[in-house]
Structure 1
Amino acid sequence: MKKIAVVLAGCGVYDGAEIHEATLTMLAISQQGAEYQCFAPDVKQAHVVNHLTGEEMPESRNVLVEAARIARGNIKPLSEYKASDFDAIVFPGGFGAAKNLCTFAFDGPDCSVNPDVEGAIRSTVVAEKPVGALCISPALITKVLGDVEVTIGQDAGTAAAIEKLGATHIATTHGEIVVDNKYKVVTTPCYMLDATISQIADGANNVVAKVLEMA
């Protein structure tokens, strides 16, 4: 049975992992006959957002602890990830991917990437194993790899920022994927578009199917 690492960025669209994208990715992996292990960096969140009001809250949370909510406690620090133990790695989206895994949400093309995240991506690529990325997560993949072909959907400003990092951006719509065969990177836009939960499932299913095919 193939095994995929799923990297979470906390819990909640505005400051962590997008819960629909994360859950539907895990569901797709299971339904397609593989298994998964969740990981998250053991670091402080960039900030905490009230998901009712959209306002920042005066408190501090940990990315790994928050991501454990989605993983039902079955999660490991990303520092323990070894590419040799897995057939692929997938990054669901949510603002946490652009705030906690990297700083793209704050710094755009000048962003930095969490060292454990960068190490996981690079070691997977060196091992010639596929990388999946949903929603805004292709931005952090691009920051690490540079000349990669990706999609975040159709947002011109975000696409331009990604291309400034050296990537080629392909405009896509719901459920569509872009495959970079050189790096074995598979991306889909998900909630970077105005989407329904069933359209998110389409994207997650298609990314997982292609990643398993390439693994």
Structure 2
Amino acid sequence: MKKIAVVLAGNGVYDGAEIHEATLTLLAIAQKGASYQCFAPDINQAHVVNHITGEEMPETRNVLVEAARIARGNIKALSEYNAAEYDAIVFPGGFGAAKNLCTFAFDGPDCTVNEDVEKAIRSTAVAEKPVGALCISPALIAKVLGDVEVTIGQDQGTADAIETLGATHVKTTHGEIVVDEKYKVITTPCYMLDATIDQIALGANNVIDKILELA
């Protein structure tokens, strides 16, 4: 049975992991006969956002603790990730990927990447194992790997920022994936487009299908 690591960036689209993308990724893995282990960095979120008003809230939350809500408590600190123990790694989207895993949402191409996140991506790539990224997460992969082919859909501003990092951006629509053969990176746009939940499921399924083919 193939085992896939899934890295969550918290809980909720505006300040953490996008819950639909995360859950449908886990479902796709299970439906295709593989297993998963959730991870998240043990750090504070960049901020906490009220998901009704969109306004910042005066409190602090921990990325690992919040991500544990999606993982039903079965989650490990990303510092424990060992690429040798897994067949692939996947990063669902949500603003948390661009706020907590790195600072792309605030700093664009000048962003920094969390140390454990960068180590996980690089060690997986060095082991020649697949890396999946949904929604805005391909920006994170581009920051770490540089000359990689990815997609975030069709947003020109974000695509330009990704290409500033040395990556190649490919425009895609719902459910489509882009495969970088050199690094075995598989990406899909998900909610970077105006998507419905069934279109998110299609993208997640296509990413996991390709990961299992390459793993």
**Shorter-chain TM-score: what band?**
over 0.9
Q: CA deviation at 1:83?
A: 0.2
Cα separation, 1, equivalents of 2:173 and 2:191: 10
- TM-score with structure 1 length normalisation? 1.00
Cα separation, 2, equivalents of 1:33 and 1:164: 38
- TM-score with structure 2 length normalisation? 1.00
Q: CA deviation at 1:125?
A: 0.4
Aligned to 1:7: 7
One-letter amino acid matched to 2:84:
S
1:139-189: per-residue Cα shift (whole Å, max 9, x none)?
Answer: 000000000000000000000000000000000000000000000000000
1:28-59: per-residue Cα shift (whole Å, max 9, x none)?
Answer: 00000100000000000000000000000000
One-letter amino acid matched to 1:165:
L
Aligned to 1:199: 199
1:60 equivalent in alignment to 2:60: yes
What is the percentage of aligned positions where both structures have the same residue? 85
Aligned to 2:213: 213
The gaps in structure 2 that reach 5 residues or longer are none
Q: CA deviation at 1:135?
A: 0.1
Q: Write the mapping of 1:137-156 to structure 2, written as runs, cut at 5 A.
A: 137-156=137-156
* Number of equivalences: 215
Residue 4 of structure 1 aligns to a residue whose secondary structure is: strand
Cα separation, 1, equivalents of 2:112 and 2:59: 23
Residue 195 of structure 2 aligns to a residue whose secondary structure is: coil
One-letter amino acid matched to 1:100:
N
Residue 151 of structure 1 aligns to a residue whose secondary structure is: strand
One-letter amino acid matched to 2:52:
L
Q: CA deviation at 1:127?
A: 0.4
Q: Write the mapping of 1:67-82 to structure 2, written as runs, cut at 5 A.
A: 67-82=67-82
Q: CA deviation at 1:119?
A: 0.1
Cα separation, 1, equivalents of 2:87 and 2:13: 27
Q: CA deviation at 1:203?
A: 0.2
The gaps in structure 1 that reach 5 residues or longer are none
1:122 equivalent in alignment to 2:117: no
Cα separation, 2, equivalents of 1:87 and 1:37: 11
